Structure 1
Amino acid sequence: MTVGISRRTSYCSPATACAAAFVGAIPARLILLLFLMLCCSTLFPSQLHAGENLFNSGAAIKEELGRLGSEGKLFLKAPVDPYLVQTGAAAGLIAVAYIFDKQLSSNGSRHGVLRGITDAGSDASNPFLHLGIAATVYTAGAASGNAGVMDLGEEMGEALVLADSATFVLKGAVGRGRPYQTESKSSFRPFHFEGGYDSLPSMHTASSFALAHVAASHSESWSSKFACYAAAGLAGFSRVYQGKHWASDVLIGAAIGELAGDAVTRYRALQPGKVSVAPTAIGGTPALALVGKF
Protein backbone atom coordinates (compact mmCIF):
# COMPACT_ATOMS: atom_id res chain seq x y z
CA MET A 1 0.00 0.00 0.00
CA THR A 2 1.24 3.50 -0.75
CA VAL A 3 0.29 6.62 1.12
CA GLY A 4 0.55 10.31 0.35
CA ILE A 5 3.55 12.17 1.70
CA SER A 6 2.20 15.57 0.76
CA ARG A 7 -0.98 17.43 0.18
CA ARG A 8 -0.07 17.78 -3.47
CA THR A 9 0.37 14.96 -5.95
CA SER A 10 3.47 12.94 -4.99
CA TYR A 11 3.43 9.70 -3.03
CA CYS A 12 5.85 7.68 -0.93
CA SER A 13 5.53 4.52 1.17
CA PRO A 14 4.90 4.77 4.93
CA ALA A 15 8.00 2.66 5.55
CA THR A 16 10.12 5.28 3.84
CA ALA A 17 8.67 8.08 5.95
CA CYS A 18 9.43 6.22 9.17
CA ALA A 19 12.87 5.14 7.97
CA ALA A 20 13.62 8.76 7.18
CA ALA A 21 12.82 9.65 10.77
CA PHE A 22 14.56 6.89 12.71
CA VAL A 23 17.36 5.22 10.74
CA GLY A 24 20.41 4.32 12.82
CA ALA A 25 23.76 6.06 12.82
CA ILE A 26 25.51 2.95 11.45
CA PRO A 27 26.96 3.87 8.01
CA ALA A 28 25.30 0.95 6.21
CA ARG A 29 21.89 2.04 7.48
CA LEU A 30 22.56 5.63 6.50
CA ILE A 31 23.43 4.51 2.97
CA LEU A 32 20.17 2.55 2.84
CA LEU A 33 18.29 5.64 4.01
CA LEU A 34 19.78 7.79 1.25
CA PHE A 35 18.89 5.09 -1.29
CA LEU A 36 15.27 5.02 -0.12
CA MET A 37 15.04 8.81 -0.30
CA LEU A 38 16.33 8.87 -3.86
CA CYS A 39 13.93 6.08 -4.84
CA CYS A 40 11.06 8.07 -3.33
CA SER A 41 11.93 11.12 -5.41
CA THR A 42 12.62 9.28 -8.69
CA LEU A 43 10.11 6.43 -8.76
CA PHE A 44 7.19 8.64 -7.71
CA PRO A 45 7.78 11.95 -9.50
CA SER A 46 5.53 14.89 -8.79
CA GLN A 47 3.61 16.59 -11.55
CA LEU A 48 4.56 19.89 -9.91
CA HIS A 49 8.08 21.27 -10.13
CA ALA A 50 9.66 22.71 -7.00
CA GLY A 51 10.98 25.75 -8.89
CA GLU A 52 12.26 28.17 -6.29
CA ASN A 53 13.80 26.64 -3.18
CA LEU A 54 16.12 27.53 -0.31
CA PHE A 55 19.17 26.92 -2.51
CA ASN A 56 18.34 29.34 -5.29
CA SER A 57 15.89 31.93 -4.00
CA GLY A 58 16.13 34.67 -1.41
CA ALA A 59 12.34 34.92 -1.51
CA ALA A 60 12.08 31.23 -0.55
CA ILE A 61 14.42 31.80 2.39
CA LYS A 62 12.38 34.81 3.54
CA GLU A 63 9.17 32.81 3.23
CA GLU A 64 10.70 29.96 5.22
CA LEU A 65 11.79 32.26 8.04
CA GLY A 66 8.34 33.85 8.17
CA ARG A 67 6.68 30.44 8.28
CA LEU A 68 9.03 29.25 11.00
CA GLY A 69 8.23 32.35 13.05
CA SER A 70 4.50 31.72 12.75
CA GLU A 71 4.96 28.07 13.68
CA GLY A 72 7.03 29.17 16.66
CA LYS A 73 4.14 31.25 17.93
CA LEU A 74 1.80 28.26 17.66
CA PHE A 75 4.39 26.15 19.45
CA LEU A 76 4.73 28.56 22.38
CA LYS A 77 0.97 29.00 22.74
CA ALA A 78 0.10 25.32 22.34
CA PRO A 79 0.40 24.27 26.04
CA VAL A 80 -2.39 26.74 26.86
CA ASP A 81 -4.18 27.10 23.53
CA PRO A 82 -5.46 24.66 22.36
CA TYR A 83 -3.99 21.91 24.56
CA LEU A 84 -4.62 23.14 28.10
CA VAL A 85 -6.32 19.91 29.22
CA GLN A 86 -3.63 17.76 27.65
CA THR A 87 -0.95 19.92 29.27
CA GLY A 88 -2.50 19.34 32.69
CA ALA A 89 -2.57 15.59 32.12
CA ALA A 90 1.03 15.57 30.89
CA ALA A 91 2.15 17.67 33.87
CA GLY A 92 0.60 15.15 36.23
CA LEU A 93 2.35 12.25 34.49
CA ILE A 94 5.67 14.09 34.57
CA ALA A 95 5.21 14.85 38.28
CA VAL A 96 4.65 11.16 39.02
CA ALA A 97 7.73 10.25 36.96
CA TYR A 98 9.78 12.81 38.90
CA ILE A 99 8.71 11.28 42.20
CA PHE A 100 9.88 7.85 41.04
CA ASP A 101 12.85 8.99 38.96
CA LYS A 102 15.33 7.26 41.24
CA GLN A 103 13.48 3.96 41.09
CA LEU A 104 13.05 4.23 37.31
CA SER A 105 16.69 5.05 36.66
CA SER A 106 18.82 2.30 35.20
CA ASN A 107 21.34 0.70 37.56
CA GLY A 108 21.61 -2.73 35.97
CA SER A 109 24.48 -4.32 34.07
CA ARG A 110 23.05 -3.34 30.68
CA HIS A 111 24.17 -6.24 28.53
CA GLY A 112 22.82 -8.67 25.99
CA VAL A 113 20.12 -8.12 23.39
CA LEU A 114 18.46 -5.22 25.19
CA ARG A 115 21.74 -3.33 25.30
CA GLY A 116 22.16 -3.77 21.54
CA ILE A 117 18.61 -2.56 20.93
CA THR A 118 19.01 0.50 23.13
CA ASP A 119 22.40 1.29 21.61
CA ALA A 120 20.73 1.39 18.19
CA GLY A 121 17.84 3.41 19.59
CA SER A 122 20.17 5.96 21.15
CA ASP A 123 22.26 6.27 17.96
CA ALA A 124 19.15 6.69 15.81
CA SER A 125 17.85 9.47 18.06
CA ASN A 126 20.89 11.72 17.55
CA PRO A 127 19.55 15.25 16.82
CA PHE A 128 22.41 15.95 14.39
CA LEU A 129 21.52 12.83 12.43
CA HIS A 130 17.90 14.00 12.28
CA LEU A 131 18.91 17.42 10.94
CA GLY A 132 21.01 15.66 8.30
CA ILE A 133 18.04 13.50 7.34
CA ALA A 134 15.77 16.55 6.98
CA ALA A 135 18.40 18.31 4.85
CA THR A 136 18.85 15.23 2.67
CA VAL A 137 15.11 14.81 2.13
CA TYR A 138 14.74 18.48 1.20
CA THR A 139 17.75 18.34 -1.14
CA ALA A 140 16.42 15.22 -2.84
CA GLY A 141 13.08 16.93 -3.41
CA ALA A 142 14.65 20.13 -4.72
CA ALA A 143 17.05 18.26 -7.03
CA SER A 144 14.34 16.05 -8.52
CA GLY A 145 11.63 18.70 -8.70
CA ASN A 146 9.47 16.62 -6.36
CA ALA A 147 7.48 19.20 -4.42
CA GLY A 148 6.03 16.63 -2.03
CA VAL A 149 9.41 15.33 -0.91
CA MET A 150 10.67 18.90 -0.57
CA ASP A 151 7.69 19.79 1.63
CA LEU A 152 8.39 16.75 3.81
CA GLY A 153 11.99 17.86 4.28
CA GLU A 154 10.82 21.37 5.17
CA GLU A 155 8.40 20.10 7.78
CA MET A 156 11.04 17.83 9.30
CA GLY A 157 13.54 20.67 9.50
CA GLU A 158 11.05 23.14 10.96
CA ALA A 159 9.88 20.70 13.63
CA LEU A 160 13.49 19.92 14.56
CA VAL A 161 14.45 23.60 14.82
CA LEU A 162 11.57 24.25 17.20
CA ALA A 163 12.16 21.15 19.33
CA ASP A 164 15.95 21.40 19.48
CA SER A 165 15.94 25.15 20.18
CA ALA A 166 13.48 24.77 23.05
CA THR A 167 15.39 21.90 24.65
CA PHE A 168 18.74 23.66 24.20
CA VAL A 169 17.50 26.75 26.06
CA LEU A 170 15.85 24.74 28.83
CA LYS A 171 18.91 22.53 29.38
CA GLY A 172 21.06 25.51 30.31
CA ALA A 173 18.35 27.31 32.23
CA VAL A 174 17.37 24.31 34.37
CA GLY A 175 20.82 22.74 34.80
CA ARG A 176 19.64 19.36 36.09
CA GLY A 177 22.32 16.79 36.88
CA ARG A 178 22.37 13.67 34.75
CA PRO A 179 22.00 10.26 36.45
CA TYR A 180 25.67 9.43 35.84
CA GLN A 181 26.73 12.81 37.26
CA THR A 182 24.86 12.79 40.55
CA GLU A 183 22.96 10.29 42.64
CA SER A 184 20.31 12.86 43.46
CA LYS A 185 17.42 13.40 41.10
CA SER A 186 17.05 16.90 42.59
CA SER A 187 20.51 18.25 41.84
CA PHE A 188 20.08 21.48 39.85
CA ARG A 189 22.62 24.14 38.85
CA PRO A 190 20.65 26.59 36.69
CA PHE A 191 22.57 28.78 34.26
CA HIS A 192 25.92 27.26 35.26
CA PHE A 193 26.34 25.50 31.90
CA GLU A 194 28.42 22.69 33.39
CA GLY A 195 29.08 19.35 31.78
CA GLY A 196 26.76 16.69 33.15
CA TYR A 197 24.20 19.28 34.26
CA ASP A 198 22.11 19.48 31.12
CA SER A 199 19.78 16.55 31.67
CA LEU A 200 16.38 18.21 31.43
CA PRO A 201 14.84 17.89 28.93
CA SER A 202 16.10 15.10 26.67
CA MET A 203 16.94 16.58 23.26
CA HIS A 204 17.30 13.12 21.69
CA THR A 205 13.74 12.33 22.72
CA ALA A 206 12.33 15.71 21.69
CA SER A 207 13.96 15.43 18.28
CA SER A 208 12.67 11.88 17.82
CA PHE A 209 9.08 12.76 18.69
CA ALA A 210 9.15 15.85 16.46
CA LEU A 211 10.10 13.65 13.51
CA ALA A 212 7.62 10.97 14.56
CA HIS A 213 4.77 13.48 14.45
CA VAL A 214 5.73 14.77 11.00
CA ALA A 215 6.28 11.27 9.57
CA ALA A 216 3.02 9.98 11.05
CA SER A 217 1.09 12.97 9.68
CA HIS A 218 2.13 11.96 6.16
CA SER A 219 0.84 8.42 6.55
CA GLU A 220 -2.72 7.17 6.33
CA SER A 221 -1.80 3.80 7.83
CA TRP A 222 -2.34 3.38 11.56
CA SER A 223 0.32 0.68 11.67
CA SER A 224 2.84 3.11 10.18
CA LYS A 225 1.84 5.84 12.61
CA PHE A 226 2.29 3.38 15.48
CA ALA A 227 5.70 2.34 14.14
CA CYS A 228 6.87 5.95 14.01
CA TYR A 229 5.87 6.63 17.61
CA ALA A 230 7.16 3.24 18.77
CA ALA A 231 10.56 4.18 17.34
CA ALA A 232 10.44 7.53 19.15
CA GLY A 233 9.43 5.73 22.34
CA LEU A 234 12.40 3.40 21.96
CA ALA A 235 14.66 6.43 21.69
CA GLY A 236 13.36 7.77 25.01
CA PHE A 237 13.59 4.39 26.72
CA SER A 238 17.16 3.99 25.48
CA ARG A 239 18.22 7.26 27.08
CA VAL A 240 16.88 6.16 30.46
CA TYR A 241 18.19 2.59 30.15
CA GLN A 242 21.69 3.83 29.33
CA GLY A 243 21.69 6.19 32.31
CA LYS A 244 21.83 9.34 30.19
CA HIS A 245 18.55 10.81 31.44
CA TRP A 246 15.97 10.57 34.19
CA ALA A 247 12.53 9.34 33.16
CA SER A 248 10.96 12.76 33.72
CA ASP A 249 13.57 14.30 31.36
CA VAL A 250 12.38 11.96 28.65
CA LEU A 251 8.68 12.66 29.20
CA ILE A 252 9.25 16.41 29.00
CA GLY A 253 11.34 15.93 25.86
CA ALA A 254 8.58 13.83 24.29
CA ALA A 255 6.01 16.55 25.05
CA ILE A 256 8.21 19.24 23.53
CA GLY A 257 8.83 17.19 20.41
CA GLU A 258 5.15 16.41 19.96
CA LEU A 259 4.19 20.07 20.36
CA ALA A 260 6.87 21.11 17.87
CA GLY A 261 5.71 18.62 15.26
CA ASP A 262 2.09 19.56 15.87
CA ALA A 263 2.82 23.28 15.48
CA VAL A 264 4.34 22.63 12.05
CA THR A 265 1.63 20.34 10.71
CA ARG A 266 -1.15 22.46 12.22
CA TYR A 267 0.17 25.61 10.59
CA ARG A 268 0.56 23.85 7.25
CA ALA A 269 -3.04 22.64 7.44
CA LEU A 270 -4.25 26.24 7.64
CA GLN A 271 -3.51 27.14 4.04
CA PRO A 272 -4.95 30.41 2.65
CA GLY A 273 -8.54 29.91 1.63
CA LYS A 274 -8.78 26.59 3.45
CA VAL A 275 -11.17 26.50 6.37
CA SER A 276 -12.30 23.89 8.84
CA VAL A 277 -15.13 23.71 11.35
CA ALA A 278 -14.23 23.50 15.03
CA PRO A 279 -16.42 23.37 18.16
CA THR A 280 -16.35 26.43 20.41
CA ALA A 281 -18.45 28.28 22.95
CA ILE A 282 -19.87 31.80 22.89
CA GLY A 283 -21.02 33.08 26.25
CA GLY A 284 -21.28 29.51 27.49
CA THR A 285 -23.44 28.46 24.53
CA PRO A 286 -22.05 25.68 22.31
CA ALA A 287 -21.30 26.85 18.78
CA LEU A 288 -19.25 26.10 15.68
CA ALA A 289 -16.40 28.27 14.37
CA LEU A 290 -14.71 28.47 10.99
CA VAL A 291 -10.95 28.17 11.40
CA GLY A 292 -8.55 29.09 8.65
CA LYS A 293 -6.26 31.65 7.04
CA PHE A 294 -7.86 34.19 4.70
Structure 2
Amino acid sequence: MFIPMKRIFFCFLLLVGSQFQSLGQIQSQKETNWKNFTYDMGNVFGGIGHSYSRPFQWEGDDWANFGYLAAGTAALFLVDDELNNWTNGFSEDVPEFLLDYGNEFGNPSNNYMFTGGVYLAGLFTKNEKLRRTGVLLISSATAGGFLQQVSKRIIGRARPKSGDSSSTYDPFHLNRVFNYDSFPSGHAMLAFSNAYAIGKQFKNPWVKAGIYTVGMIPGFARIMDDFHWVSDVAFSTVLSIFIVESIDRYLDSKYNEKYNAQPKKLSWNLNFGPGTMGVSARF
Protein backbone atom coordinates (compact mmCIF):
# COMPACT_ATOMS: atom_id res chain seq x y z
CA MET A 1 0.00 0.00 0.00
CA PHE A 2 1.44 3.30 -1.07
CA ILE A 3 1.25 6.26 1.36
CA PRO A 4 1.91 9.66 -0.17
CA MET A 5 4.95 11.47 1.18
CA LYS A 6 2.86 14.58 1.84
CA ARG A 7 0.66 12.60 4.20
CA ILE A 8 3.68 11.14 6.00
CA PHE A 9 5.23 14.58 6.30
CA PHE A 10 1.95 16.02 7.60
CA CYS A 11 1.67 13.29 10.28
CA PHE A 12 5.27 13.91 11.25
CA LEU A 13 4.55 17.63 11.74
CA LEU A 14 1.52 16.81 13.90
CA LEU A 15 3.60 14.44 16.05
CA VAL A 16 6.42 16.94 16.49
CA GLY A 17 3.95 19.73 17.18
CA SER A 18 2.18 17.72 19.88
CA GLN A 19 5.51 16.92 21.52
CA PHE A 20 6.51 20.58 21.55
CA GLN A 21 3.11 21.45 22.98
CA SER A 22 3.54 18.88 25.76
CA LEU A 23 7.03 20.18 26.52
CA GLY A 24 5.66 23.70 26.55
CA GLN A 25 2.92 22.74 29.00
CA ILE A 26 5.43 21.03 31.29
CA GLN A 27 7.73 24.05 31.14
CA SER A 28 4.78 26.35 31.87
CA GLN A 29 3.77 24.24 34.85
CA LYS A 30 7.31 24.33 36.21
CA GLU A 31 7.45 28.09 35.84
CA THR A 32 4.08 28.47 37.56
CA ASN A 33 5.12 26.19 40.42
CA TRP A 34 8.38 28.08 40.85
CA LYS A 35 6.58 31.41 40.80
CA ASN A 36 4.08 30.19 43.41
CA PHE A 37 6.86 28.68 45.52
CA THR A 38 8.93 31.87 45.64
CA TYR A 39 5.81 33.91 46.40
CA ASP A 40 4.80 31.55 49.21
CA MET A 41 8.26 31.47 50.78
CA GLY A 42 8.28 35.26 50.75
CA ASN A 43 4.99 35.13 52.65
CA VAL A 44 6.45 32.64 55.14
CA PHE A 45 9.18 35.11 56.11
CA GLY A 46 6.75 38.01 55.88
CA GLY A 47 4.38 36.24 58.26
CA ILE A 48 7.16 35.53 60.75
CA GLY A 49 8.26 39.17 60.72
CA HIS A 50 4.66 40.32 61.05
CA SER A 51 4.05 38.15 64.13
CA TYR A 52 7.21 39.46 65.83
CA SER A 53 6.30 43.08 65.11
CA ARG A 54 2.72 42.87 66.42
CA PRO A 55 3.51 43.91 70.04
CA PHE A 56 4.62 47.29 68.71
CA GLN A 57 1.13 47.73 67.22
CA TRP A 58 -0.89 46.49 70.20
CA GLU A 59 -3.73 48.59 71.58
CA GLY A 60 -5.83 48.37 74.74
CA ASP A 61 -7.55 45.02 74.10
CA ASP A 62 -4.32 43.42 72.91
CA TRP A 63 -2.47 44.44 76.06
CA ALA A 64 -5.41 43.24 78.13
CA ASN A 65 -5.20 39.81 76.48
CA PHE A 66 -1.47 39.68 77.15
CA GLY A 67 -2.15 40.65 80.75
CA TYR A 68 -4.62 37.78 81.10
CA LEU A 69 -2.04 35.39 79.66
CA ALA A 70 0.64 36.64 82.05
CA ALA A 71 -1.72 36.51 85.04
CA GLY A 72 -2.91 33.00 84.21
CA THR A 73 0.66 31.76 83.73
CA ALA A 74 1.76 33.37 87.01
CA ALA A 75 -1.16 31.72 88.83
CA LEU A 76 -0.11 28.32 87.49
CA PHE A 77 3.51 29.02 88.45
CA LEU A 78 2.38 29.15 92.08
CA VAL A 79 0.91 25.64 91.98
CA ASP A 80 3.19 23.90 89.46
CA ASP A 81 4.85 21.66 92.06
CA GLU A 82 1.49 20.55 93.46
CA LEU A 83 0.14 19.91 89.96
CA ASN A 84 3.24 17.88 89.11
CA ASN A 85 2.76 15.71 92.20
CA TRP A 86 -0.86 15.22 91.20
CA THR A 87 -0.06 14.19 87.60
CA ASN A 88 2.67 11.83 88.79
CA GLY A 89 -0.02 10.00 90.72
CA PHE A 90 -1.68 8.72 87.53
CA SER A 91 1.04 9.05 84.88
CA GLU A 92 1.63 5.28 84.84
CA ASP A 93 -2.01 4.72 83.89
CA VAL A 94 -1.73 6.78 80.70
CA PRO A 95 -1.59 4.51 77.58
CA GLU A 96 1.91 4.24 76.17
CA PHE A 97 0.79 4.85 72.59
CA LEU A 98 -0.62 8.23 73.66
CA LEU A 99 2.71 9.27 75.16
CA ASP A 100 4.64 8.00 72.14
CA TYR A 101 2.40 9.92 69.77
CA GLY A 102 2.68 13.09 71.84
CA ASN A 103 6.47 12.99 72.02
CA GLU A 104 6.92 12.14 68.34
CA PHE A 105 4.39 14.47 66.73
CA GLY A 106 5.64 17.51 68.62
CA ASN A 107 9.20 16.82 67.54
CA PRO A 108 10.45 19.61 65.22
CA SER A 109 11.68 17.27 62.47
CA ASN A 110 8.38 15.38 62.33
CA ASN A 111 6.49 18.64 62.53
CA TYR A 112 8.22 20.06 59.47
CA MET A 113 7.68 16.82 57.55
CA PHE A 114 3.96 17.25 58.16
CA THR A 115 3.74 20.99 57.45
CA GLY A 116 6.00 20.67 54.40
CA GLY A 117 3.86 17.83 53.08
CA VAL A 118 0.70 19.91 53.38
CA TYR A 119 2.32 22.80 51.53
CA LEU A 120 3.76 20.67 48.71
CA ALA A 121 0.41 18.98 48.21
CA GLY A 122 -1.17 22.39 47.72
CA LEU A 123 1.63 23.56 45.44
CA PHE A 124 1.54 20.63 43.03
CA THR A 125 -2.26 20.33 42.96
CA LYS A 126 -2.54 24.12 42.45
CA ASN A 127 -4.89 24.34 45.41
CA GLU A 128 -4.50 27.87 46.79
CA LYS A 129 -6.34 27.10 50.02
CA LEU A 130 -4.02 24.19 50.74
CA ARG A 131 -0.98 26.29 49.77
CA ARG A 132 -2.06 29.02 52.14
CA THR A 133 -2.62 26.45 54.89
CA GLY A 134 0.91 25.14 54.33
CA VAL A 135 2.33 28.66 54.47
CA LEU A 136 0.42 29.31 57.70
CA LEU A 137 1.66 26.06 59.23
CA ILE A 138 5.31 26.59 58.27
CA SER A 139 5.48 30.26 59.28
CA SER A 140 3.66 29.67 62.60
CA ALA A 141 5.89 26.73 63.50
CA THR A 142 9.05 28.67 62.59
CA ALA A 143 8.01 31.82 64.47
CA GLY A 144 7.04 29.86 67.56
CA GLY A 145 9.99 27.48 67.33
CA PHE A 146 12.61 30.21 67.16
CA LEU A 147 10.94 32.17 69.95
CA GLN A 148 10.81 29.21 72.33
CA GLN A 149 14.42 28.22 71.64
CA VAL A 150 15.65 31.71 72.51
CA SER A 151 13.37 31.89 75.57
CA LYS A 152 14.59 28.55 76.92
CA ARG A 153 18.18 29.78 76.98
CA ILE A 154 17.31 33.12 78.55
CA ILE A 155 14.96 31.79 81.24
CA GLY A 156 16.66 28.47 82.07
CA ARG A 157 13.81 26.97 84.08
CA ALA A 158 14.39 23.55 85.64
CA ARG A 159 12.41 20.65 84.21
CA PRO A 160 10.42 18.45 86.62
CA LYS A 161 12.70 15.51 85.80
CA SER A 162 15.72 17.48 87.04
CA GLY A 163 14.55 16.90 90.61
CA ASP A 164 14.53 20.64 91.34
CA SER A 165 11.44 22.66 92.15
CA SER A 166 9.55 24.70 89.58
CA SER A 167 11.09 27.89 90.98
CA THR A 168 14.67 26.84 90.16
CA TYR A 169 16.39 28.67 87.30
CA ASP A 170 19.78 28.62 85.57
CA PRO A 171 19.35 31.51 83.09
CA PHE A 172 21.28 33.24 80.31
CA HIS A 173 23.08 30.50 78.40
CA LEU A 174 23.99 30.63 74.71
CA ASN A 175 24.06 26.84 74.53
CA ARG A 176 21.22 24.63 75.62
CA VAL A 177 21.47 23.37 79.21
CA PHE A 178 19.56 20.09 79.41
CA ASN A 179 17.00 19.81 82.20
CA TYR A 180 17.11 23.60 82.59
CA ASP A 181 15.19 24.52 79.44
CA SER A 182 11.62 23.86 80.48
CA PHE A 183 9.88 27.14 79.70
CA PRO A 184 8.18 27.32 77.26
CA SER A 185 7.26 23.95 75.74
CA GLY A 186 8.32 23.56 72.12
CA HIS A 187 6.31 20.36 71.62
CA ALA A 188 3.12 21.97 72.89
CA MET A 189 3.67 25.12 70.83
CA LEU A 190 4.36 23.31 67.55
CA ALA A 191 1.57 20.78 67.93
CA PHE A 192 -1.13 23.23 68.90
CA SER A 193 -0.05 25.70 66.22
CA ASN A 194 -0.75 22.95 63.70
CA ALA A 195 -4.07 22.05 65.30
CA TYR A 196 -5.26 25.64 65.52
CA ALA A 197 -4.25 26.40 61.92
CA ILE A 198 -5.94 23.24 60.60
CA GLY A 199 -9.02 23.92 62.71
CA LYS A 200 -9.53 27.11 60.70
CA GLN A 201 -10.55 24.95 57.73
CA PHE A 202 -13.72 23.83 59.51
CA LYS A 203 -16.78 25.64 60.83
CA ASN A 204 -18.24 22.77 62.84
CA PRO A 205 -17.34 23.40 66.51
CA TRP A 206 -17.22 19.68 67.27
CA VAL A 207 -14.71 19.08 64.49
CA LYS A 208 -12.64 21.99 65.75
CA ALA A 209 -12.80 20.62 69.30
CA GLY A 210 -11.61 17.21 68.10
CA ILE A 211 -8.67 18.73 66.22
CA TYR A 212 -7.74 20.90 69.20
CA THR A 213 -7.88 17.88 71.50
CA VAL A 214 -5.45 15.97 69.29
CA GLY A 215 -3.22 19.06 69.22
CA MET A 216 -3.07 19.10 73.02
CA ILE A 217 -1.81 15.53 73.31
CA PRO A 218 1.91 16.41 72.89
CA GLY A 219 1.72 18.99 75.70
CA PHE A 220 -0.10 16.49 77.89
CA ALA A 221 2.50 13.81 77.12
CA ARG A 222 5.36 16.13 78.04
CA ILE A 223 3.72 16.82 81.40
CA MET A 224 3.22 13.10 82.03
CA ASP A 225 6.87 12.36 81.18
CA ASP A 226 8.15 15.12 83.52
CA PHE A 227 9.61 17.21 80.71
CA HIS A 228 7.39 20.21 81.49
CA TRP A 229 5.35 21.88 84.18
CA VAL A 230 1.68 22.60 83.56
CA SER A 231 2.37 26.34 83.24
CA ASP A 232 4.94 25.68 80.49
CA VAL A 233 2.36 23.88 78.38
CA ALA A 234 -0.53 26.26 79.13
CA PHE A 235 1.51 29.34 78.22
CA SER A 236 2.85 27.74 75.03
CA THR A 237 -0.62 26.64 73.91
CA VAL A 238 -2.11 30.12 74.27
CA LEU A 239 0.93 31.79 72.72
CA SER A 240 0.62 29.54 69.67
CA ILE A 241 -2.93 30.86 69.19
CA PHE A 242 -1.64 34.44 69.22
CA ILE A 243 1.02 33.58 66.64
CA VAL A 244 -1.32 31.74 64.27
CA GLU A 245 -3.96 34.48 64.46
CA SER A 246 -1.39 37.18 63.77
CA ILE A 247 0.10 35.41 60.74
CA ASP A 248 -3.31 34.39 59.38
CA ARG A 249 -4.44 38.00 59.33
CA TYR A 250 -1.26 38.93 57.50
CA LEU A 251 -1.97 36.23 54.89
CA ASP A 252 -5.46 37.66 54.33
CA SER A 253 -3.82 40.40 52.27
CA LYS A 254 -1.74 37.91 50.28
CA TYR A 255 -4.24 35.24 49.22
CA ASN A 256 -7.80 35.22 47.89
CA GLU A 257 -8.68 32.27 50.12
CA LYS A 258 -9.57 33.56 53.61
CA TYR A 259 -10.47 31.66 56.76
CA ASN A 260 -11.52 34.65 58.84
CA ALA A 261 -13.59 36.78 56.50
CA GLN A 262 -15.38 38.07 59.59
CA PRO A 263 -12.51 39.05 61.90
CA LYS A 264 -12.82 37.97 65.50
CA LYS A 265 -10.79 38.99 68.49
CA LEU A 266 -9.71 36.80 71.33
CA SER A 267 -11.58 37.41 74.56
CA TRP A 268 -10.50 36.16 77.95
CA ASN A 269 -12.12 35.61 81.32
CA LEU A 270 -10.58 34.83 84.67
CA ASN A 271 -12.71 32.30 86.56
CA PHE A 272 -12.56 31.99 90.33
CA GLY A 273 -14.73 29.97 92.63
CA PRO A 274 -14.66 27.59 95.59
CA GLY A 275 -11.74 25.29 94.90
CA THR A 276 -11.42 26.45 91.28
CA MET A 277 -9.24 28.88 89.36
CA GLY A 278 -8.76 29.17 85.62
CA VAL A 279 -8.62 31.21 82.46
CA SER A 280 -11.05 30.72 79.58
CA ALA A 281 -10.57 31.98 76.02
CA ARG A 282 -13.18 32.61 73.32
CA PHE A 283 -11.97 32.71 69.68
Same fold by TM-score, threshold 0.5 exceeded?
yes
* Cα deviations by residue, 1:176-206 (Å, 9 ceiling, x for unpaired): 1111113211111112331111100000011
Pair 1:277–1:102, CA change in 2 (3 A): closer
Pair 1:107–1:152, CA change in 2 (3 A): same
Q: Which residues of 2 match residues 108-257 of structure 1 at below 5 A? A: 108=89, 110-192=91-173, 193-257=176-240
1:143 to partner: Cα distance: 1.9
For residues 127 and 278 of structure 1, what CA distance do their matches in structure 2 show? 30
Aligned counterpart, 2:271: none
Report the residue type matching 1:266 in the other structure: R
For residues 60 and 200 of structure 1, what CA distance do their matches in structure 2 show? 31
1:249 to partner: Cα distance: 0.9
For residues 253 and 85 of structure 1, what CA distance do their matches in structure 2 show? 18
Contact 1:159 1:264 in 2 (8 A): yes
For residues 79 and 202 of structure 1, what CA distance do their matches in structure 2 show? 25
Aligned counterpart, 1:99: 78
Contact 1:79 1:87 in 2 (8 A): no
Contact 2:106 2:188 in 1 (8 A): yes
Note if 1:68 corresponds to 2:48. Answer: yes
For residues 152 and 234 of structure 1, what CA distance do their matches in structure 2 show? 21
Report the residue type matching 1:95 in the other structure: A
* Cα deviations by residue, 1:133-175 (Å, 9 ceiling, x for unpaired): 1111111122222222222111110110111111111011101
* Cα deviations by residue, 1:109-140 (Å, 9 ceiling, x for unpaired): 73345444233223222232121111111111
For residues 161 and 153 of structure 1, what CA distance do their matches in structure 2 show? 12
Contact 1:201 1:252 in 2 (8 A): yes
Corresponding residue pairs, total? 230
For residues 168 and 178 of structure 1, what CA distance do their matches in structure 2 show? 15
1:91 to partner: Cα distance: 1.9
Q: CA RMSD in A?
A: 3.1
Task: Please say which of residues 109-118 and 190-199 is displaced more in the overlay.
Answer: 109-118
Partner residue of 1:262 out of 245, 248, 263: 245
For residues 232 and 81 of structure 1, what CA distance do their matches in structure 2 show? 30
For residues 100 and 195 of structure 2, what CA distance do their matches in structure 1 show? 19
Report the residue type matching 1:188 in the other structure: Y
What is the DSSP-based 3-state SS (H/G/I as helix, E as strand, rest coil) of the residue aligned with 2:92?
Answer: coil
Pair 1:245–1:262, CA change in 2 (3 A): same
TM-score (norm 2): 0.70
Aligned counterpart, 1:88: 67
Which structure shows the higher helix fraction?
Answer: 2
* Cα deviations by residue, 1:12-32 (Å, 9 ceiling, x for unpaired): xxxxxxxxxxxxxxxxxxxxx
For residues 183 and 172 of structure 2, what CA distance do their matches in structure 1 show? 13
* Cα deviations by residue, 1:64-123 (Å, 9 ceiling, x for unpaired): 43343234323x458766522222222222112111111111434733454442332232
Residue ranges of structure 1 left out of the alignment (5+ in a row): 1-48, 280-294
Aligned counterpart, 1:37: none
Report the residue type matching 1:89 in the other structure: Y
For residues 209 and 124 of structure 2, what CA distance do their matches in structure 1 show? 31
Report the residue type matching 1:166 in the other structure: L
